[in-house]
Structure formats: structure tokens, C-alpha cells
Amino acid sequence: MRVATWNVNSIRARVGRIVDWLVREDIDVLAMQEIKCKPEQFPREPFEAAGYELAIHGLNQWNGVAIASREPIDDVSTAFAGMPGFAKGQEGENLPLEARALGVTVAGLRLWSLYVPNGRSLDDPHYTYKLDWLATLAADARDWLAANPDRPLALMGDWNIAPTDADVGDPSLVPGVSTHISPPEREAFEEFEKLGLSDVVRPYQPEGYTYWDYKQLRFPRNEGLRIDFILGSQPFADLVTHAGIHRNERKGEAPSDHVPVVVDLDLSLNGEEEDDDRPMIFG
């Protein structure tokens, strides 16, 4: 099984190249972020014609997450317990929740598509929101792992954190000034690793970025960031046979500013047999 995550930066603007990539690369499950639409606005037909079932969570033209799968999707969750909300200029409890998390179960795997808040700047309320959001997710992940220690779990998506200096090639990020690289953000990322979740791609592709700003020729200069990750529990990591970053998807016409991150899984190691009789879809 091939599982991937991709911040698509507007599904309606890029549906053609996304579905083409899904078929060409034989992807079974894709977690998408920043779809920027409501479910009724999502371009379902091309995905369904290619053999994919969809779970979609979007509230407006901002944020939004979705999952496309060739296998049946079960146990859909559009938030995690206690997930904080945000509204500019407002404080306190019961703030509106954004469409930033979508959990599903596919072929015995518990998969989450996550779009972590950006943070904006170190003195912005959005930065506090980001840290609170991550802390709550980590607390929930701890409970998930305790309740189902043998179930493969993956938290996938745009984390908006470059956890090490090696993940930073963008010269516009300045320590002590910029988000994405501040010590509290990196410590928040490390909390997931302390829980037993690991970056299952890095062992197969230790170097490489997943995001390049559209400005200042960042991509031609390879001045990018590694901020898109698949963090897997040990039962998930045990299934991984290969992984990589599909850098070439930043090229061509109307690319997203992010690229797909992909893992190959051998489900037979989890007692699941892959369906070799599924229909082939040709582009």
C-alpha cells in the first residue's frame, strides 16, 4: 500500500495534476491539506472516476483537509478531543474550530490529515494558538496510543515546523524572529517523538525539503523547508518498506508550494493482505 500526504494549496486549482499524480504513482491513500473549499465545492468527480473514495472537511475558502482512498474509509473524525479554536481578535473558550484535522481508518490503519496552524509571528495570538493546538493533539495522541497500542497510527500533513537546522534552507527564516524554527515549536514537535511517533520518511530520505515559497526564486535556488511529515507509531513504522519526497511535483504548470511525501507499506506484516485484484485505473 502507498500512503501519501500533500498540502495541495487549493484543490480546485490543481485537481487535474493531483489526480494524474495519484494514478501515475499508484497511490492508495492521500491525505490532503489546505484544500480551501467546502465539501460541496470539492471536485469529487475526477477522484471518483479514478477509483477513490473521499472524506472531506472544509468550512470556507481557508484551511481544509481531505483524504482520498482506494480502500473503504471508516470512523471519520473531523476534530480531535479538546481541539482549540481561533478567531482573530477574540480570546477565551469556545472559539470556532477550523478545518485542520481529519481522522479515518483504512485497512486497519488509523490515519490523520493535519494542517497545523502557521503561527504567523512570535508575538501573534496565532502563535499561541499553534502551540496550544499541538499540545492538545499530543495529549490526544498519547491516549490513542495507550488505548490501541497495536494499531498502526500515522499523523500526516503540513506541520509548519522545521524540527532541525538541516530542515531549513530558506534564508528568510531568522532564529529568534521567525516562526517554524523557534525553540517552543521544535519542542512541541519533539513531544510527539517522545510519545513513540517517528518520522518514517527520514530513514529513507534523510535530506530534502517539502516546501518552497513562490517568492524570490526559492525553488530554483533550492531554498526550501522540510515541514511536511508522516509521523508513525511503532506498529506503523514496522510496516514501512520505502519512503520518499516527490520533489518534481514542485515543477511544471501551477504547482503547489508543497510536494507529496510518500511511504510504502507491507500490510502483510500487520496480518492484512493487500487486494491484488483491484481494478487497474489508466490515465
Tell me which residues of the chain have a pLDDT lower than 50. 274, 276-283
**Residues 238, 198: contact at Cβ < 8 Å?**
no
**Residues 111, 29: contact at Cβ < 8 Å?**
yes
Cβ partners under 8 Å of residue 276, min gap 6: none
Phi, psi of 41 (to 5 degrees): -95, -10
pLDDT score recorded for residue 282: 32
pLDDT score recorded for residue 273: 52
For residue 218, which of 258, 179, 253 has the smallest C-alpha distance?
Answer: 258
Give the separation between CA 89 and CA 134, rounded to whole angstroms.
21
pLDDT score recorded for residue 272: 57
pLDDT score recorded for residue 34: 98
pTM metric for this prediction: 0.94
Residue 280 burial by Cβ neighbours in a 10 Å radius (0-12, 13-18, 19+)? exposed
Place of cell 489546505: 34
pLDDT score recorded for residue 94: 83
pLDDT score recorded for residue 92: 74
pLDDT score recorded for residue 190: 98
DSSP 52: -
Give the separation between CA 260 and CA 4, rounded to whole angstroms.
6
Question: How many beta carbons lie within 10 A of that of residue 150, not counting itself?
Answer: 8
Q: How far is CA 17 from the centre of its chain?
A: 18
pLDDT score recorded for residue 90: 83
pLDDT score recorded for residue 283: 33
Q: Residue 37 is placed in which grid cell?
A: 473549499
Q: Measured on CA atoms in the order 10, 16, 21, 22, is the torsion positive or negative?
A: positive
Q: How far is CA 90 from the centre of its chain?
A: 27
Residue 217 burial by Cβ neighbours in a 10 Å radius (0-12, 13-18, 19+)? exposed
**Residues 79, 113: contact at Cβ < 8 Å?**
no
The count of C-alpha atoms lying within 13 angstroms of the C-alpha of 266, restricted to the half-sphere facing its C-beta, is 7
pLDDT score recorded for residue 91: 80
Q: Enumerate domains of the chain plus CATH numbers.
A: 2-270 (3.60.10.10)
Give the separation between CA 51 and CA 162, rounded to whole angstroms.
34
pLDDT digits (tens, 9 = 90+) for 101-149: 999 999 999 999 999 999 999 999 999 999 999 999 999 999 999 999 9
